[in-house]
């Protein structure tokens, strides 16, 4: 597998986590660090910026920018100074939806409150969520003023988790939601379909 194809796959893997947030009802503007762990190892560190109709998630190598106002997604590769563009279709993201507020996703059939605790400095209510297929996981929803969002998700056995850290409320720099000047547009490989 070529280095370029590996980059695209990594980019799109990162992008799928952006789609989790793209159709949520949360209306807050913020930036945050997102850290994920699997089998006790930190596997992902990302930065997220969100405002009305715009989301950016980035790693050191790349950024995914969702522009719901333009119905477009830009996938930006910093080292190559290139980007790919795809149409954005909110209907395609509904199956990937996770909640950032106190309402469970439609496919969750049960959510039981466990306790209130602090996650990375944020007061949060911990719930056990069980889906229709009987899979369960924990979620923590912040109860801090101004931050009504899911701040952590984890496996029941602790084998994996993802959490928000360093949440900063406020409008991110508008330039973060644009393709950098001088970056060249490249075609999306056909194997990845025609939109999200």
- CATH homologous superfamily of 3-189 equals Lipoprotein localisation LolA/LolB/LppX (2.50.20.10)
Please state, in angstroms and rounded to a whole number, the distance separating the CA atoms of residues 142 and 162.
14
Domain ranges, ordered by start, for the chain: 3-189
pLDDT of residue 195: 53
pLDDT of residue 146: 77
**Closest-CA residue to 161 (of 8, 64, 40, 75):** 40
Please state, in angstroms and rounded to a whole number, the distance separating the CA atoms of residues 167 and 26.
14
pLDDT of residue 45: 87
pTM as predicted: 0.75
Sites in the chain below the pLDDT cut of 50 = 1-2, 4-7, 9-11, 13-14, 17-18, 20-25, 92-104, 191, 196
């Amino acid at each position: 597998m070529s280095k370029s194809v590996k980059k695209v796959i990594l980019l799109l893997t990162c992008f799928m986590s952006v789609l989790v947030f793209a159709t949520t009802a949360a209306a807050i503007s913020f930036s945050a660090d997102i850290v994920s762990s699997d089998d006790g190892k930190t596997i992902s560190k990302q930065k997220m910026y969100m405002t009305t109709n715009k989301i950016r998630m980035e790693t050191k190598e790349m950024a995914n920018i969702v522009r719901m106002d333009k119905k477009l997604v830009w996938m930006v590769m910093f080292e190559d100074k290139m980007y790919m563009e795809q149409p954005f279709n909110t209907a395609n993201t509904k199956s990937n939806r996770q909640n950032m507020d106190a309402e469970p996703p439609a496919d969750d059939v049960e959510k039981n409150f466990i306790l209130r605790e602090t996650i990375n400095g944020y007061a949060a209510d911990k719930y056990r969520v069980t889906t229709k297929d009987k899979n369960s996981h924990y979620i923590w929803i912040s109860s801090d003023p101004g931050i009504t969002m899911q701040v952590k998700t984890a496996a029941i056995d602790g084998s994996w988790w993802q959490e928000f850290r360093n949440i900063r409320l406020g409008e991110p720099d508008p330039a973060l939601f644009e393709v950098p000047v001088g970056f060249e547009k490249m075609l999306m490989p056909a194997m990845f379909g025609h939109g999200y």
